[in-house]
Amino acid sequence: MSISDNLLVLDEQEIKGVNLVNHFLPFRSQTSGLDFEAIAGSILKAALQKRLEKGSTLESFKSYFFESLQYKLTDQEVQPLIEKMYFDDNAAGLFKVSPEFLIFKSAQAEASTNKHIAQVFIGFICNSGRSFLKLSSEVNFLEQELVEAFQQRLTDCKEDPVESPYLPFMAELFAQDLGFLLEHPGYFLDNLRVFFSLYTFMYSSQLALNINDWTEKPVSKPLFFILDTEKASLERNQVREAFRHLRIKAFDLFPVLSMLEYLNQPKDKKAKKFPLWKFFLEINEMDALQRNNVNESLIKFCERYREKRKLPPFEEYPQTTKELIEVLSITAKEIFGTKGTNQNDVNNRYVNAFVNEIAPHFVQVRGRSGRVLTISQDYLLLLTNLAIGSRKQVQFQELLQEFRKRGVWFDRQSEQAIIRFLERIGNVERMSDSGDAVYVRKTL
């Protein structure tokens, strides 16, 4: 399925009265109670291209494991102790052995609060073309038996990507960072909630900042944070304005993505879904006849879209693709921006879900500066390790550039605070007083 395939049936799309966004957005109007272990399990299933055999459950695996183990135990009385260590408390001990056991939890990612985040990141993995090697956790003899028994209950699977990533730069970095973490399974397990929480926020934020810039491929846009131990003085305009600017941009997410659903064959679940910017760029590459036909379809769609939502028709439509997509975008924002309407209430709930459920770990109220974006030491250390990756160390300025690639920007004051923090924990080698001569090492 291609963009052209989706556009060919645009005239057939029924404009519905309900408001839906099924793709590209990792949160919904009610996104409480996220289970990042379940999300991780679903993503690992796609990354490792392995799933549980049909009918396999945690209970059936336990029976299978002890049945295979009984011939290797010299003292059968230790079995209750092993069961307590690895299978009590919903198998909490088992999930600390190796990340692949999280595949047991992948079914829980089908819950509405989890599946939208998993869907976005699975799309990143499937489109990356990256191979994720078999995990090699450092385990003891007994845990090796658990791992081998589990791997015998897995079967090959491959998921076809449903979405073309809206933010290719973020998709590439996510696949790279996940691959790095899986080379350190213990560190991954210790930090999986921080990792997926960080990427969910970074992706959602950069999606909001890029949603209206559909005439070109998305790039990381400036979004300024401070360390949660810093003061947010009033003269730091970039810091003071960051959250307000982000929240304003978030109001355009649901309207634009809701309109985009109709361009992507919403009734056909097998049809690949493409970002708005890809539509614009591909239509612009068409020959004049094709482009004119598409533009006619866009005009008819906009007429039906406005009529269904009881908006007055335009007296005259523009003739260029850029202007027509702009008209569609304006129409969507008009539908969801009219105060006192159900659509406006829906949009407000989505923005509130972003602020209250996706962003709370990254927002603090700082007196007269109001709400500012902050990053804690746990998130900063993980981000630092991801940015350095497989290298031993990097120059501090290169580290900051890696942060910016991932959507995390700092002003000069915060840069100095980061150096002081990293020096305190012994991760910095300073060659001179200039920033270019400061090298930062991983904590791994």
- SS3 of the chain: the string is CCHHHHHHCHHHCCCCCCCCCCCCCCCCCCCCCCCHHHHHHHHHHHHHCEEECCCCCHHHHHHHHHHHHCCCCCCHHHHHHHHHHHHHHHHCCHHHCCHHHHHHHHHHHHCHHHHHHHHHHHHHHHHHCCCCCCCCCCCCHHHHHHHHHHHCCEEECCCCCCECCCCHHHHHHHHHHHHHHHCCHHHHHHHHHHHHHHHHHHHHHHHHHHCCCCCCCCCCCCCEEEECCCCCCCCCHHHHHHHHHHHHHHCCHHHHHHHHHHHCCCCCCCCCECCHHHHHHHHHHCCHHHHHHHHHHHHHHHHHHHHHCCCCCCCCCCCCHHHHHHHHHHHHHHHHHCCCCHHHHHHHHHHHHHHHHHCHHHEEECHHHCEEEEECHHHHHHHHHHHHCCCCEEEHHHHHHHHHHCCCEECHHHHHHHHHHHHHCCCEEECCCCHHHEEEECCC
Angle at 116 between CA 187 and CA 228, to 5 degrees: 50
Q: Which residues lie across from 227 on neighbouring strands?
A: 375
Provide the pLDDT for residue 434: 57
Provide the pLDDT for residue 325: 98
State how beta strands 363-365 and 428-430 pair.
unpaired
CB 109 within 8 A of CB 42: yes
Beta carbons within 10 angstroms of residue 432's beta carbon: 8
Provide the pLDDT for residue 196: 98
Provide the pLDDT for residue 17: 82
Provide the pLDDT for residue 433: 62
CA atoms of 411 and 401, how far apart (whole Å): 12
Full pLDDT tens readout for the chain, 444 residues: 799 999 999 999 999 888 889 999 999 987 677 899 999 999 999 999 999 999 999 999 999 999 989 888 878 788 999 999 999 999 999 999 999 999 999 988 877 679 999 999 999 999 998 888 777 667 888 999 999 999 999 999 988 889 999 999 999 999 999 999 999 999 999 999 999 999 999 999 999 999 999 999 999 999 999 999 999 999 999 999 999 999 999 999 999 999 999 999 999 989 999 999 999 999 999 999 999 999 999 999 999 999 999 999 999 999 999 999 999 999 999 999 999 999 999 999 999 999 999 999 999 999 888 999 999 999 999 999 999 999 999 999 999 999 999 999 999 999 999 999 999 999 999 876 655 689 999 998
CB 298 within 8 A of CB 324: yes
CB 33 within 8 A of CB 113: yes
CA atoms of 192 and 33, how far apart (whole Å): 16
Provide the pLDDT for residue 436: 63
Residue type, 158: K
Q: Is 54 left (phi over 0), alpha (psi -120 to 50) or beta?
A: beta
CA nearest to 167, candidates 110, 127, 196, 194: 127
CA atoms of 418 and 379, how far apart (whole Å): 12
CA nearest to 351, candidates 330, 336, 365: 336
Query: Which tokens sit at 29?
Result: 């109007």
Provide the pLDDT for residue 9: 94
Q: Is 94 exposed, middle or buried (0-12, 13-18, 19+ CB in 10 A)?
A: buried
Q: What's the pTM?
A: 0.95
CA nearest to 27, candidates 125, 114, 121, 126: 114
Contacts of 13 (CB under 8 A, 6+ apart): 262, 265, 266, 267, 301
Kindly calculate the radius of gyration of the chain based on its CA atoms and give it in whole angstroms.
25
Q: At what angle do helices 185-210 and 377-388 cross, to 10 degrees?
A: 100
CB 169 within 8 A of CB 219: yes
CA atoms of 224 and 237, how far apart (whole Å): 10
Provide the pLDDT for residue 92: 95
